[in-house]
Amino acid sequence: MTEPVSPYGRSFLVEPQARPGAAACKVADPPLGDGLLGDLDKYFDPAHARVEFDRLFARTWLCAGRASDLAKAGDWLRFDIGAESVIVSRQPDGALRAYYNVCHHRGARLVTDDFGHGQRFVCGFHSWTWNLDGSLHRITDRETFDSGTICDNPPLSRVHVDEWGGFVFISMHDDPPPLTAFLDVLPAQLDAYRMQDMVVIADLSVEWEVNWKTALDAFMEGYHIHRRHPEGLGWIDDYHLQHDLFANGHSRMILPVAVKSPRLNDQDSLNDELRAMLSEVGLDPAAFEGRAREVRAAIQRRKPEWARSVGMDYGRYSPSQLTDDWNYFVFPNLTFNLHAEGMLVMRFRPHPRDVERCYYDVMVLAHRVADPHYRLPRYMGAPDVDLSGEVPRPPRARLRHGDASLGMVLDQDAEFVPRVQQGMRSRGFKGIRLSRQERRVRAFYEEYDRYLRDERS
């Protein structure tokens, strides 16, 4: 392995000829600060975590789950964030409603399962009951209460809710901006992926012994690929990434796939992964021996025709979307790794009691494909499932760190991230130093600090 010879002073483009306004078009970089990120209390201090929840999580739009889990009237899902819990339910008219998951009698949680179905929510303590629309249905032994205690017939406390791309978002803010306004350019840029049509094929929630931001930071840059994921250097350009910073804290990095890292001396010969990528779309690897630099472009040309042969339409994708990993960050705690075939969704949630623990949620989604022999590309590392029919939604698996493998790449990150949390506690550590390859991390903290300074309404 060698050091890349290209200077890093320019902006790298995955589609140099993209027209202005196209999804792949590079966005002009906004000014960012410099110097060390020295406020480390945000990773360790319980008092800081309380302010963080009130000024950040309680004021933004948060991804609560998939709309497909609320397909029928009466379906509901539970979403926990820090010490709060929210129920999202599908109404008879097709609308969504969301409520704090709390009984107005003594404060008990109304539901404890991840998903459910029913026309009413019944408290398991004293059987107070609410209708699906949040109105009060029954107070057990109502005659034993003073009228002044219950005269308001308390409905469930409402939470704002909306949908985009097949995802359900909630906001605990009293008056949040419309979800589409908060998302800014993301809906238009991601329209080609038709995320609303994807189905869930894996769903995990893992408790990690790190602050949620320590975990998130690891997935906001590609700088660590060469060290933590060296097997990827043979088919990912980990150096020439396109970085784009959007309004409201959102951002993306696009990783060129089916091309070798410039860190490798051998840029010409094929390896097993490149051969597999060629074979998966019906191209003969033998025709590309010694021509590894041409693989990415060849796959981009071939993939629309190959997709038609298995019953898919890839005409909506740009060349880069046909091969590359479009990695989006939806502020404040959600990432998408998008591919033409499907996506990896990761969400980072603070622990309700311990600032140095978090929940790392991983969901894999994929498009249905009519051909029963079709499988997702090997490089995605996704579960090997038949996507030709109605895919049964897997139950959510709840794990502790190390209980089970999440796949090689995620295991490599999971093994190392706790060392970062531990090292930041050292008296010898003076603050985080970020390169231009980590500009999304800096942009995140600049927006994060605006919320923490109470500059965002």
Tokens of 186: 């993301």
Return all residues near 248 (Cβ < 8 A) that are at least 6 apart: 182, 183, 184, 331, 447
Residue 180 covered by a domain:
no
Which residues face 115 on adjacent strands? Answer: 77
DSSP strand pairing (397-400 vs 199-208): parallel
pLDDT digits (tens, 9 = 90+) for 185-225: 999 999 999 999 999 999 999 999 999 999 999 999 999 99
pLDDT digits (tens, 9 = 90+) for 131-142: 999 999 999 999
The arithmetic mean of pLDDT across residues 255-268, rounded, is 96
Based on the domain organization, do 127 and 91 belong to the same domain?
yes
pLDDT digits (tens, 9 = 90+) for 74-119: 999 999 999 999 999 999 999 999 999 999 999 999 999 999 999 9
List the CATH number of the domain containing 451. 3.90.380.10
Residue 286 covered by a domain:
yes
Which three-class secondary structure state does DSSP give residue 186?
Answer: helix
Question: Of 145, 172, 199, which residue sits at a domain end?
Answer: 172
Based on the domain organization, do 234 and 271 belong to the same domain?
yes
Residue 1 covered by a domain:
no
Based on the domain organization, do 55 and 65 belong to the same domain?
no
Distance from CA of residue 57 to its chain's centroid?
16
Residue 178 covered by a domain:
no
At residue 406 the predicted structure's pLDDT band, cuts being 50, 70 and 90, is confident
Note the pLDDT of residue 5.
57
Domain hosting residue 345, numbered range: 11-59+185-457
At residue 10 the predicted structure's pLDDT band, cuts being 50, 70 and 90, is low
Note the pLDDT of residue 288.
96
pLDDT digits (tens, 9 = 90+) for 301-333: 999 999 999 999 999 999 999 999 999 999 999
Residue 3 covered by a domain:
no
In 3D space, the residue among 264, 234, 76, 229 whose CA is nearest the CA of residue 159 turns out to be 76
Tokens of 81: 């964030």
Question: What's the total number of domains in the chain?
Answer: 2
The arithmetic mean of pLDDT across residues 426-432, rounded, is 95
In 3D space, the residue among 66, 64, 106, 105 whose CA is nearest the CA of residue 84 turns out to be 64
**Residue of higher predicted confidence among 3 and 411:** 411
Residue 6 covered by a domain:
no
Question: Of 122, 146, 172, which residue sits at a domain end?
Answer: 172
Based on the domain organization, do 373 and 405 belong to the same domain?
yes
Residue 2 covered by a domain:
no
Based on the domain organization, do 132 and 196 belong to the same domain?
no
List the CATH number of the domain containing 161. 2.102.10.10
Q: Are 60 and 457 in contact (CB under 8 A)?
A: no
State yes or no: pLDDT of 280 exceeds 90. yes
Which three-class secondary structure state does DSSP give residue 365?
Answer: strand
Based on the domain organization, do 234 and 331 belong to the same domain?
yes
Based on the domain organization, do 50 and 95 belong to the same domain?
no
Residue 4 covered by a domain:
no
Question: Of 172, 203, 227, which residue sits at a domain end?
Answer: 172
Note the pLDDT of residue 11.
67
Average pLDDT over all residues of the chain: 95
Q: Classify residue 241 as exposed, middle or buried by CB count within 10 Å of its CB (0-12, 13-18, 19+).
A: buried
Note the pLDDT of residue 240.
93
**Cα(361)–Cα(65) distance, rounded to whole angstroms?**
11
Based on the domain organization, do 97 and 216 belong to the same domain?
no
- pTM exceeds 0.75, yes or no: yes
Based on the domain organization, do 92 and 31 belong to the same domain?
no
Based on the domain organization, do 350 and 259 belong to the same domain?
yes
